Amino acid sequence: MGISGLISTIALLAFLLFLAGIGLVVLSASQGRPVRGGVLLAIIGLIAGIVLTIVGQGIITLQPTEIAIVANTLTGELLEPRRGGTHVILPIVQNVIVRFDTVQQEYTMSGSILEGAETGNDSVEIQTVDGQLAAIDVTINFRVNPDPVAVNRLYSNWRDRDYVAGFVRPATRSIVRDVASSFTAADLYGERNLVGDGMQEALTIAFEEEGLELREFFLREIRFSDAYQETLNLIEQERRRTELLRVEAEQRLVVEQGEAAAREARAEGDAAVARALALGEADATRTRAEAEAAALEFVSAELQANPSLIQYLYVQNLSDNINLALIPSNSPFLFDLNTLTEQAAGTSTQSTTEEEETPQETPESTPQPGG
């Protein structure tokens, strides 16, 4: 129970007290007793009842989704609306005219008899720019705009009239019809989102001007005549086939691009391998050349230090069964004939000496039988 309800209850008790005082006065007068006590009780009850009633009228309690239109009873001027909660107004001078509920409301216009605000076929019938007939089913979600200025405008425009039947329904049907009639049948069918956006935008403006707030708009279905619907179905099938071909072409292009990229990658890889092999071969050739150069430099240094070394190596590398070698007598750079002869003789003498120094085993005489 709210405060206003509690005060109203107390005011009722006060009026009962007034009635009790009147009854006491009558009873006392009939018995010839003084009526002062009854009169006093009646006066107190009457005053308390009137005061509490007036006070109770000055306190209003609203639900969270309610908004109250308050007016000056003397001038008729609309005051600032009161929203959910407990409020105090001036009794008698100010008065709550009407309470609006700001909860969201739904309104459906459909060709199905099982749904919609009106029974039977309630679709919005339109004619397109190219003369085709169509039926449109829509659903809107709206509410009373809680803005103080907007809610006062709603009351001023409609007062005791039903704004749903007087505005929401006819305005929605009119706007849906006007917007849809500006399209061809093909565009109405193919550009459904664009059509719905246009309807919602126009409805939002119209509702705002009346003090309402459009929350959602749903373009549920568009139905054409059977003959034209068949044509649209054929167009849709062709569109889907074209779309499928486009997707397949894009997929083939992607595959071809991937294969080309793979071939290019392989070619780049082969080129990289070839470059790496060439660089490796070049490095190996350079390393061999550097090694041969170092070896030649070392040999040159040794020959400069020992001029007869090459002759000695030559003699050492002669085959064992060679007893005679023909050497040009005019070869002063490679061989010194005298030195070569001495080296050969020395080698022969050394071999003979080694053979002589090797002890010879004398075979023991074998005893003869009978000796």
DSSP string, 139-188: EEEEEE--SHHHHHHHHHHHTTS-HIIIIIHHHHHHHHHHHHTTS-HHHH
Is residue 154 domain-shared with residue 169, that is, in the same domain? Answer: yes
Q: Please report whether residue 82 resides in a domain.
A: yes
Q: Please report whether residue 349 resides in a domain.
A: no
Is residue 112 domain-shared with residue 215, that is, in the same domain? Answer: yes
Residues 6+ apart with CB under 8 A from 218: 138, 139, 140, 196
Is residue 117 domain-shared with residue 220, that is, in the same domain? Answer: yes
In this prediction the pTM is 0.54
Q: Please report whether residue 111 resides in a domain.
A: yes
Tokens 């609006």 -> residue: 100
Cα dihedral 62/64/66/67 (nearest 10): 80
Query: For every one of its 371 residues, what pLDDT tens digit does the chain have, with 9 covering 90 and above?
Result: 567 677 778 878 888 888 888 888 888 888 778 878 888 888 888 888 888 777 777 777 778 888 888 888 888 788 888 887 777 777 777 778 788 889 999 999 998 877 877 877 889 999 999 888 999 999 999 999 999 899 999 998 888 789 999 999 999 999 999 999 999 888 888 888 999 999 999 999 999 999 999 999 999 999 988 888 787 778 778 878 888 899 999 998 999 888 888 888 888 888 888 888 888 888 888 888 888 788 777 777 777 777 666 666 666 666 566 555 555 555 554 555 555 555 555 555 555 444 444 454 444 444 444 43
Residues 6+ apart with CB under 8 A from 183: 128, 129, 191, 195
Is residue 10 domain-shared with residue 117, that is, in the same domain? Answer: no
Domain boundary among 100, 123, 146: 100
Q: Please report whether residue 371 resides in a domain.
A: no
Is residue 150 domain-shared with residue 191, that is, in the same domain? Answer: yes
Domain count, the chain: 4
**DSSP code of residue 116:** S
The long-range contacts involving 325-332, CB below 8 angstroms and separated by at least 24 positions, are none
Q: Please report whether residue 139 resides in a domain.
A: yes
Is residue 185 domain-shared with residue 250, that is, in the same domain? Answer: no
Domain boundary among 55, 70, 100: 100
Residue 14: both structure tokens together = 């006060």
Q: Please report whether residue 282 resides in a domain.
A: no
Domain boundary among 100, 134, 155: 100
Other Cβ atoms less than 10 A from the Cβ of 135: the count is 17
Is residue 88 domain-shared with residue 131, that is, in the same domain? Answer: no
Q: Please report whether residue 361 resides in a domain.
A: no
**CATH number for 195:** 3.30.479.30
- For the stretch 273-311, pLDDT in tens is 888 888 888 888 888 888 878 877 777 777 777 766 666
Residue 196: both structure tokens together = 């719905």
Q: For residues 57 and 72, what is the distance between their CA atoms, to the nearest angstrom?
A: 14
Query: Are 211 and 229 contacting, i.e. CB atoms less than 8 angstroms apart?
Result: no
Other Cβ atoms less than 10 A from the Cβ of 17: the count is 17
Is residue 260 domain-shared with residue 219, that is, in the same domain? Answer: no
Q: Provide the b/e sequence for 225-242 (b: ≥16 CB within 10 Å).
A: eeebeeebeeeeeeeeee
Is residue 144 domain-shared with residue 78, that is, in the same domain? Answer: no
Q: Please report whether residue 278 resides in a domain.
A: no
Is residue 166 domain-shared with residue 143, that is, in the same domain? Answer: yes
Residue 370 confidence (pLDDT): 42
Is residue 129 domain-shared with residue 197, that is, in the same domain? Answer: yes
In angstroms, the Cα distances linking 147 to 63, 67, 154, 208, 221 are 16, 10, 11, 11, 33
Is residue 133 domain-shared with residue 64, that is, in the same domain? Answer: no
Residue 231: both structure tokens together = 């044509």
Amino acid (one-letter) located at 141: N
Q: For residues 172 and 179, what is the distance between their CA atoms, to the nearest angstrom?
A: 11
3-state secondary structure of 107: strand
Ramachandran bin of 362, using left for φ above 0, alpha for ψ from -120 to 50, beta for the remaining angles? beta
Radius of gyration of the chain (CA): 62
Other Cβ atoms less than 10 A from the Cβ of 26: the count is 12
For residue 313, the enclosing domain spans 300-343
Query: Are 109 and 173 contacting, i.e. CB atoms less than 8 angstroms apart?
Result: yes
Residues in the chain: 371
